[in-house]
Amino acid sequence: MKIVVVDGYTLNPGDLSWEPLKELGEVTIYDRTAPDETVARCIDADMVLTNKVIFNAEVINALPKLKYIGVLATGYNVVDTMAATEHNVIVTNIPAYSTESVAQMVFAQILNITNRVGHYACENSKGRWTNNTDFCYWDTQLTELAGKKIGIVGLGNTGSATARIANAFGMDVCAFTSKPQESIPNYITKLILDELFSQCDIVSLHCPLTETTKELVNEARLATMKPTAILINTGRGPLINEQAVADALNCGKIAAFGADVLSVEPAQPGNPLLGAKNCYLTPHIAWATYEARIRLMNICIDNVKAFINGTPQNVVN
């Protein structure tokens, strides 16, 4: 079985092992693959593993030996699943491997915004505390989370994990979800979307990207939020209108924005969020803890084994 990993560096920059995969077949690993290299590198492959390299209908049509595409992520929009199905190619993904890590990033963003640890650490490295007249100082508002209302848009795996953490902080947890009230924890109150955005001190996005959720956060919705509100996005970049959020930050219509995702990645020089006030961006790393990547690698190996054994798992097409 010939297996090609087209962009292995993101998952494994050198701190994990590909050896369990190599035990399953003849494996070729590329750190990165450009679009015009994909077909040539995969032409003899029975199986390919991809994170962000695109396998559209044109690519799939050009790979007659291909039987399996393993996506090294939960989202699988990099594969044309309809074309794969037409060519009898199984497509799998890696579900729920980073749930706790993403929820942790949500609160890393929230705590950075409310306590500004990075800001004060930077100031102190420059000698500000050493030269301070008083035993302490602060030049930003410091905010206690207990008693604040957090609204979670989407109660899937990461939304539910974020809700648990928020509850532990003593926050009033609300959610917009299709789940009935009796099926969710009793510390979560269901709200309609407009109520959630207008009432909550913090709004965190955890819904999938669909035609109905694209630019869910737009100028009109931002106008309903409190001027003290914090918006967090660890879901998908296009859930927000980036220009509208940048304008809201710069005009003081909302207090802060923390995000781990953008509509185009890596960030483009003209992205309005890069220069916006009180905007805190991390480079799509919420999923990338060592522990989460180990889980991803293990599930990837299990998916490959299952396919070889004729019992494919985590199939998305």
Per-residue pLDDT tens for 231-284? 999 999 999 999 999 999 999 999 999 999 999 999 999 999 999 999 999 999
Residue type, 312: P
The secondary structure element, H or E, covering residue 57 is: helix 57-61
- For 223-228, the CB contacts below 8 A with 24+ separation are 223/253, 224/194, 224/197, 224/198, 225/197, 225/198, 225/253, 225/254, 226/198, 226/200, 226/201, 226/254, 227/252, 227/253, 227/254, 227/255, 228/201, 228/255
Residues 53-58 have a mean pLDDT of 98
Residues 152-159 have a mean pLDDT of 97
User: Is 21:300 a contact under the CB 8 Å cutoff?
Assistant: yes
Query: What percentage of the chain has pLDDT greater than the value 90?
Result: 99
Residues 187-194 have a mean pLDDT of 97
Q: Which residues pair with 47 in a beta bridge?
A: 3, 68
The Cα–Cα gap between 200 and 175 comes to: 10
Pair of tokens at residue 78 = 């990099």
List residues with catalytic annotation: 236, 265, 284
Per-residue pLDDT tens for 83-110? 999 999 999 999 999 999 999 999 999 9
In the three-class reduction of DSSP (H, G, I as helix; E, B as strand; rest coil), residue 91 is classed as strand
Per-residue pLDDT tens for 202-242? 999 999 999 999 999 999 999 999 999 999 999 999 999 99
pLDDT confidence bin for 310, thresholds 50/70/90: very high
Averaged confidence pLDDT in the chain: 97
pLDDT at 111: 98
The Cα–Cα gap between 200 and 231 comes to: 10
